[in-house]
Amino acid sequence: MPPDPKMSDDRVDQWLAFARRFLRALAARKRQRFDRRVSIGDLLTERDDNAAAYGFGEGTTMYDNVLVLGSVKVGRDTWIGPGCILDGSGGDLEIGDWCSISAGVQIYTHHTVNRSISLGREPIDCAPTRIGDGVYIGPNSVVQMGVTIGNQAIIGTNSFVNRDIPAGAKAFGCPARIRKAARLK
């Protein structure tokens, strides 16, 4: 129901005070239970419910402010941090089991570079992107469309991944380069 335009400023202020007291109580509870301060969306939702609403695997959690576009499939027991972009609008984006997708990570299945520089004559480029099982992607990293990251690979913080990374590799940088082969267990 839309607010009554005739509602007095005093009444609006009363409702606002109530809402602020409610949010403070939720914030105190979150801090007491988990020792964290989160946005309003994360006060009102639970991370496992957010992931389940998209059909992501059992045990997977996702912050409320994660942007999910198009066809995104995520396995079980994967953690998706705050401020991530999971773009499946240009093809399937698949993320495996037991992954850590750190805060601010962006994973794409499309880009508009050629469309932009051709002044609209070229189409949007699209390709599926795949992240294997047990992959760690460090904070603020970007994974370009069409990339496959193999099982148990590590992507370092602030990396730009524009080529495939094999299973067990450690890669970082801009662009990301393989620095060391990890030992698979």
Tens-place pLDDT, residues 127-142: 999 999 999 999 999 9
Could you confirm whether 111 is annotated as catalytic?
no
Q: Whole-angstrom Cα distance, residue 148 to residue 150?
A: 6
Q: What is the pTM of this model?
A: 0.84
Q: Is the separation of the CB atoms in 41 and 64 below 8 Å?
A: yes
Q: Whole-angstrom Cα distance, residue 15 to residue 78?
A: 39
Within-domain flag for 139: yes
- Residue 98 Rama label (left phi>0; alpha psi -120 to 50; beta): left
Within-domain flag for 42: no
Domain of 168 in residue numbering reads as 47-180
Note whether 95 and 140 are same-domain residues.
yes
Note whether 18 and 58 are same-domain residues.
no
Q: Whole-angstrom Cα distance, residue 172 to residue 178?
A: 7
* 61-118 pLDDT, tens digit each: 999 999 999 999 999 999 999 999 999 999 999 999 999 999 999 999 999 999 999 9
Note whether 24 and 57 are same-domain residues.
no
Set 110, 141, 154, 161: catalytic member = 110
Note whether 65 and 15 are same-domain residues.
no
Note whether 122 and 168 are same-domain residues.
yes
Note whether 85 and 31 are same-domain residues.
no
Note whether 30 and 51 are same-domain residues.
no
